[in-house]
Chain A
Amino acid sequence: MTRRNIETLVGVFVLMGFVAIGYLALKAANLAAMTIGETYAVAAHFDNVGGLKPRAPVKSAGVTVGRVTSISLDGKTFQGVVTMELEKRFAFPKDTSAAILTAGLLGDQYVGLNPGADEANLAAGDTIRMTQSAVVLENLIGQLLYSRAAEGGGDAKK
């Protein structure tokens, strides 16, 4: 086999390898959808972020408009600070509220934005004031048991 033929075959081999890597990155991992256009960062303070993870989607009306970039704890108020990047082409009013929601019964958690009616829009570095924390199943069950116990106690008095 001549040198040129071998080189051609190796070229085919390397090309196949790169096509495979590209296929994995684009088709399986969806790189194209991860790289969103220009973004601006806003923060939101939650009493409880639950199981929210960095890179979780931020949705409004069910449409992904951005991603969570980081989650940390505010040392003064002891609230969870969620910073997220929203796409520039979506502007939200200043009084937009944020909630941590769950996709399906056991799905991953995401941030849901509920637009308000303010004239001014959120700008980079702004903080969303109105937030609704993640639902913690244990607290919910605890409340349920507590209210049932209270009802039961009332019945016993009668």
Chain B
Amino acid sequence: MNPHDLLAGLGRWALGFLFRLGHGAFFLVELLRNTPASLRRFYLVVAQIHAIGNYSVVIIAASGLAVGFVLALQGYYTLSRYGAAESLGLLVALSLVRELGPVVTALLFAGRAGTSLTAEIGLMKAGEQLAAMEMMAIDPKQRVLAPRLLGGIIAMPLLAAMFSAVGIFGGYVVGVLMIGIDPGQFWSQMQAGVDVWDDVGNGIFKSLVFGVACTVVALYQGYEAEATPEGVAKATTRTVVISSLAVLLLDFVLTAVMFSAPR
């Protein structure tokens, strides 16, 4: 392969990347334009919240508990070196509410709900169900995609809040019941250091953004999937990869904007 080919390959890759980014953005705008119509058939959105949200509760709660356990154990190890073990509640709560709650929930969401969305839409496309809908003058974006987007956006912040709440409970179990930190100190340090708007509010805003990103990536990959079994399989893989990367990048940008501003 000569240098010219390499350069052309790089250019092709960059152009394709930009094209998909722009195409995806237009896709999101078009779905958002269709959401008012899907609000009129709210039952469709409710069914999607059920499919996306309810079935994710168990995995979210289990992961939140595990993360809370581990945070308390590891945090205690470091904090006890400085004689500040009472701050464990604060450490666990701030890490969960500001960072781990939204991010880990979004990553789990991409794996648990995003893949199923992509596979569902991809198979609908492969089975020409979407084309059939169009033939009946039903806009699949309005009838199929927009309710899923809304469902994802509504479910994600709720799931993230559950994750953080269960995680804090996990931290309490390990920190207070197992290690034996004073429960009064545990809660009062937490309550003194966690702010409702700056920490809890920003965490919820973060998970809202992640909800939009994860759901739109999953829907876009499904909608643009090649209409073959391999195409759907590839699209599902891409959903996980792109959603995860998007969540981590967005998280960095959001954290830099929201939490590093001088107070």
Whole-angstrom CA separation of A24 from B191 in the bound complex: 10
12 contacts across the A-B interface (CB closer than 8 A):
A6-B46, A6-B47, A10-B53, A13-B49, A13-B158, A19-B165, A25-B196, A27-B191, A28-B164, A28-B168, A29-B194, A29-B195
- The reply to whether B158 and A17 contact each other, CB–CB distance below 8 Å, is yes
- Chain A interface residue number, banded: 20 to 34
- The reply to whether A10 and B54 contact each other, CB–CB distance below 8 Å, is yes
A91 within 8 A of B: no
Q: Which of B50, B93, B162, B191 contacts A20 (CB 8 A)?
A: B162
Which residues in window 185-207 of B have CB below 8 A to A?
187, 190-192, 194-196, 199-200, 204
A137 within 8 A of B: no
- The reply to whether B199 and A20 contact each other, CB–CB distance below 8 Å, is no
Residues of B within 8 A of A10 (CB): 46, 49-50, 53-54
- The reply to whether A33 and B191 contact each other, CB–CB distance below 8 Å, is yes
Q: Which of A12, A21, A33 contacts B161 (CB 8 A)?
A: A21
- The reply to whether B187 and A21 contact each other, CB–CB distance below 8 Å, is no
Taking A6-B46, A9-B54 as given, write out 19 further A-B residue pairs in contact, using a Cβ cutoff of 8 Å, ordered by the A residue number. Answer: A3-B43, A10-B53, A13-B54, A14-B158, A16-B57, A17-B53, A17-B158, A17-B162, A20-B165, A21-B158, A21-B161, A23-B165, A25-B196, A27-B168, A28-B97, A28-B194, A29-B191, A29-B195, A29-B200
- The reply to whether A24 and B158 contact each other, CB–CB distance below 8 Å, is no
Nearest residue in B to A14 (C-beta to C-beta)? B158
B157 within 8 A of A: yes
Would you give the shortest CB distance from A72 to chain B, in whole angstroms? 14
B263 within 8 A of A: yes
- The reply to whether B54 and A27 contact each other, CB–CB distance below 8 Å, is no
Whole-angstrom CA separation of A18 from B196 in the bound complex: 15
Whole-angstrom CA separation of A20 from B207 in the bound complex: 14
Binding site for A on B (CB under 8 A): 43, 46-47, 49-50, 53-54, 57, 93, 97, 154-155, 157-159, 161-162, 164-166, 168, 187, 190-192, 194-196, 199-200, 204, 263
Would you give the shortest CB distance from B67 to chain A, in whole angstroms? 15
- The reply to whether A16 and B196 contact each other, CB–CB distance below 8 Å, is no
- The reply to whether B162 and A31 contact each other, CB–CB distance below 8 Å, is no
Whole-angstrom CA separation of A25 from B164 in the bound complex: 11
A7 within 8 A of B: yes
Would you give the shortest CB distance from A63 to chain B, in whole angstroms? 14
Nearest residue in A to B159 (C-beta to C-beta)? A17
Would you give the shortest CB distance from A98 to chain B, in whole angstroms? 21
- The reply to whether A28 and B93 contact each other, CB–CB distance below 8 Å, is yes
Whole-angstrom CA separation of A20 from B155 in the bound complex: 13
Residues of B within 8 A of A130 (CB): none
Nearest residue in B to A35 (C-beta to C-beta)? B196
Whole-angstrom CA separation of A22 from B191 in the bound complex: 14
A30 within 8 A of B: yes
Would you give the shortest CB distance from B109 to chain A, in whole angstroms? 13
Whole-angstrom CA separation of A54 from B195 in the bound complex: 12
Nearest residue in B to A103 (C-beta to C-beta)? B192
Most buried by A among B47, B165, B194: B165
- The reply to whether A6 and B168 contact each other, CB–CB distance below 8 Å, is no
Nearest residue in B to A30 (C-beta to C-beta)? B191
Whole-angstrom CA separation of A51 from B136 in the bound complex: 67
- The reply to whether B196 and A6 contact each other, CB–CB distance below 8 Å, is no
- The reply to whether B200 and A24 contact each other, CB–CB distance below 8 Å, is yes
Residues of A within 8 A of B168 (CB): 23-24, 27-28
Q: Which of A24, A34, A53 contacts B165 (CB 8 A)?
A: A24
Residues of B within 8 A of A16 (CB): 57, 158, 162
